Amino acid sequence: MILQIDDLVKHYGPVRAVDGLSLEIGQGEVLGLVGESGSGKSTVGRCVLRLTEPTSGAIRLDGRDITHLSRRRLRPLRRDMHIVFQDPYSSLNPRFTIEQIVGEPLLRHQAATRLEVGGRVAAMLEKVGLRPETRGRFPHELSGGQRQRVGLARALILGPKLVVADEPVSALDVSVQASVLNLINDLQRDLGFSCLFITHDLSVVEFLADRIAVMYLGRIVESGPTAEIFAEPRHPYTQALLSAAPVPDPVRQRRRRRIVLGGDVPSPVDPPAGCRFHTRCPLAYDACRTVEPELTDPRGGGHPAACHLVTADRVPDAASPR
Ligand code: SF4
């Protein structure tokens, strides 16, 4: 396993952003972590990279416990993990040229001499589909899609084992989103890094992720192989997310029953008792308000869900409430 997270908790004062979450990412695997805003998914990414300190739980990178490593001891491991942010503009220093931005990790980790940096940057820019002359440009001279390619080049130049991609395409125009997603897919296959891909949009990870984990109010409510999640979403929340995702086929789109969830995600300061999803679930019944469902896999297939109504022979259907 490249990444192992056990019972991760991150509270910001009274806010229980992540509240007991476990997941694993294998060598060369892409895990899509999906949830609405406020689900805690970005906090998971920030804890993994130790950009924020976990409250409790354990994080292992390639077998090594990094949960409480000091900054100094963490520094060499920063070569192995990198983040791609949502907004490429605010994450690139506007006063630096693209060569300085992409080459900086090489110099910081003494992975190349000053003489070598130019060549390494040029090769990396080519890999992400940018022309060599981009090296001398500044971030404001590039389009949003080009800037996100620069962000990718910077994240990948040290050959990390793990890339955390936090909504890497959601700030881009729809027309460029697909090309950047295809690029990430190609780079991942080519370079073989593992990836935690964080997104609010299930359709974004359909072709990219090997597995998907769906988050709601700081916990995972369902996880499994991507094809399985799309073929048989087991948790009512996943069913609702899927019903809202656009489908390219207009016939399928018309046939589909949309599940409209009432209200917003409740406050993570005081999550609902019982099943955290019960205030919005069309199938909620008495037990849901008091008994918290465990993440279990009665139907098998490495596809657990946290819902009382998932049993060995039955999957609930949130589109047909009783
Ligand atoms: Fe809905 Fe109850 Fe299942 Fe929670 S446990 S998802 S409230 S049916």
- pLDDT given at position 252: 63
Q: Which of 239, 276, 278 to mutate to test the pocket of ligand 1 (most atoms within 8 A of CB)?
A: 278
d(C-alpha 206, C-alpha 251), whole Å: 19
Return the ∠ at Cα 63 (arms to 61 and 67), rounded to 5°: 50
The segments of the chain whose pLDDT lies below 70 read 88, 246-255, 322
Tell which atom from ligand 1 comes closest to the C-alpha of 278: 7
- pLDDT given at position 9: 97
Return the ∠ at Cα 210 (arms to 200 and 276), rounded to 5°: 45
Tell which atom from ligand 1 comes closest to the C-alpha of 316: 8
Q: Which 3 state secondary structure label does DSSP give 59? A: strand
- Ligand 1: does its nearest atom lie under 6 Å from the Cβ of 293? yes
Q: Which 3 state secondary structure label does DSSP give 272? A: coil
- Ligand 1: does its nearest atom lie under 6 Å from the Cβ of 236? yes
Tell which atom from ligand 1 comes closest to the C-alpha of 281: 1
CA of 284 to the centre of ligand 1 (A): 5
Sheet of 219-225, strands arranged across: 81-84, 162-166, 194-199, 30-34, 211-216, 219-225
Other CB atoms within 10 A of residue 53 CB? 10
- Ligand 1: does its nearest atom lie under 6 Å from the Cβ of 303? no
- pLDDT given at position 248: 65
Would you list the domain boundaries of the chain?
Answer: 3-231, 232-322
- Ligand 1: does its nearest atom lie under 6 Å from the Cβ of 277? yes
Tally the residues of the chain. 322
Look up residue 313 and give its two tokens: 């022979």
Torsion angle defined by CA atoms of residues 269, 270, 276 and 278, in that order, rounded to the nearest 10 degrees: -130
CA of 287 to the centre of ligand 1 (A): 9
For the chain, helix (H) and strand (E) counts, in that order, are 11, 10
**CATH classification of 3-231 is 3.40.50.1460, yes or no?**
no
- pLDDT given at position 271: 92
Q: Which of 239, 259, 275, 314 to mutate to test the pocket of ligand 1 (most atoms within 8 A of CB)?
A: 275
Tell which atom from ligand 1 comes closest to the C-alpha of 288: 2
- pLDDT given at position 87: 76
H-run or E-run covering 118: helix 114-127
- Ligand 1: does its nearest atom lie under 6 Å from the Cβ of 281? yes
Query: The whole model's pTM is what?
Result: 0.94
**Nearest-CA residue for atom 3 of ligand 1:** 307
User: Is residue 61 a contact partner of residue 74, using CB atoms and an 8 Å limit?
Assistant: no
- pLDDT given at position 322: 67
